[in-house]
């Protein structure tokens, strides 16, 4: 009779039992709590939206689950307005659009709405990242360094920025190098926003970030 023996699993189980017994005998409450957090974090929790996903990074999976639970109504509303403004400007569906263009304020208005949309995306990423860091300080076990956390949000944010940049760049017939520069600058701004969480509530910092986004948006439209 052949029996398959999983040495790796057996060794892991023995390590678990040994460590649990040691902590119990030593009455090390703080270490035991940390052990419980590690064990809980290692459990396989599946969400229905991830059943068919092959993303192996659990941090990215956690971020996807988080975004699936938050209210994105405002983001959708901003996106719809952004698309409507672009269509009105590009195809001149109403007479007042021609007047706005003649006055030279059409491009800044479109850039303003694009900047609002991009800024909203970057804010969502930065806010969720900061929330995750705060939870880790309160006891959530995260076996990741800060740059790894930032990278996980970049993986989610950059594709959205790419789609928005391509959409505007193609619609306004911009050369590929302009589109590439726009995406690069948007990505840098996202990385800066993720890296300096302590400054996220600073009005000056937020203003600088927004004007940087507006500048890139204007470059793609003008």
User: What does the pLDDT read at residue 53?
Assistant: 41
Q: What is the pLDDT of residue 50?
A: 41
Write the DSSP symbol of residue 70: S
117/195 same-domain check: yes
Same domain for 24 and 62, yes or no, is: no
Please indicate, yes or no, whether residues 26 and 65 belong to a single structural domain of this protein.
no
**Gap between the Cα atoms of 197 and 178, Å rounded:** 29
What is the number of other CB atoms lying within 10 angstroms of the CB of residue 193? 27
pLDDT at 48: 44
The verdict on 167 and 148 lying in the same domain is yes
Supply φ then ψ for residue 145, to 5 degrees: -85, 165
Same domain, 136 and 216: yes
Residue 162 pLDDT: 94
| Same domain membership, residue 151 and residue 103 | yes
Asked whether residue 16 falls in the same domain as residue 106, the answer is: no
39 shares its domain with 59: no
> What's the full length of the chain, in residues?
222
Domains in the chain: how many in total? 2
Residue 34 sits in the same domain as residue 74: no
Domain residues for 30? 7-43
Does the residue 2 lie in any domain? Answer: no
Q: Tell me, yes or no, whether 12 and 108 share the same domain.
A: no
- Could you list the mean pLDDT of each consecutive 10-residue stretch along the chain, which spans 222 residues? 52 60 55 54 46 56 70 86 89 84 87 93 87 74 75 88 92 92 94 75 81 93 84
User: Mapped to the 3 state alphabet, what secondary structure does 54-84 carry?
Assistant: CCCCHHHHHHHHHHHHCCCHHHHHHHHHHHH
Q: What is the pLDDT of residue 213?
A: 94
6 phi, psi to nearest 5 deg = -90, 95
Q: Residue 1 falls within a domain, yes or no?
A: no
Q: Is residue 162 part of a domain?
A: yes
pLDDT of residue 1: 46
> Looking at the domain assignment, is residue 131 inside a domain?
yes
Per-residue confidence (pLDDT) for residue 181, from 0 to 100: 95
Q: Which residues contact residue 7 at a Cβ distance below 8 angstroms, ignoring those fewer than 6 apart?
A: none
């Amino acid at each position: 009779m052949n029996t398959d023996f999983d040495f790796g699993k057996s060794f892991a189980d023995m390590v678990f039992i040994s460590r649990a017994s040691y902590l119990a005998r030593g009455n090390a409450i703080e270490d035991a709590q940390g052990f419980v957090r590690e064990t809980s974090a290692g459990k396989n929790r599946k969400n229905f939206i991830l059943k068919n996903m092959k993303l192996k990074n659990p941090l990215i999976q956690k971020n996807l689950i988080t975004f699936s639970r938050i209210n994105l109504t405002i983001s959708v509303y901003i996106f719809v307005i952004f698309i409507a403004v672009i269509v009105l400007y590009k195809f001149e569906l109403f007479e007042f659009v021609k007047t706005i263009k003649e006055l030279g304020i059409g491009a800044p208005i479109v850039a303003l709405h694009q900047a609002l949309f991009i800024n909203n995306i970057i804010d969502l990423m930065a806010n969720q990242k900061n929330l995750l860091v705060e939870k880790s300080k309160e006891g959530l076990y995260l076996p990741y360094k800060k740059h790894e956390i930032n990278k996980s949000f970049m993986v989610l944010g950059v594709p959205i920025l790419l789609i928005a940049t391509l959409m505007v760049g193609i619609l306004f017939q911009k050369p590929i190098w302009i589109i590439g520069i726009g995406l690069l600058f948007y990505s840098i701004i996202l990385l800066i926003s993720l890296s300096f969480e302590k400054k996220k509530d600073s009005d000056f910092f937020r203003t600088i970030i927004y004007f940087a986004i507006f500048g890139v948006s204007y470059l793609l439209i003008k």
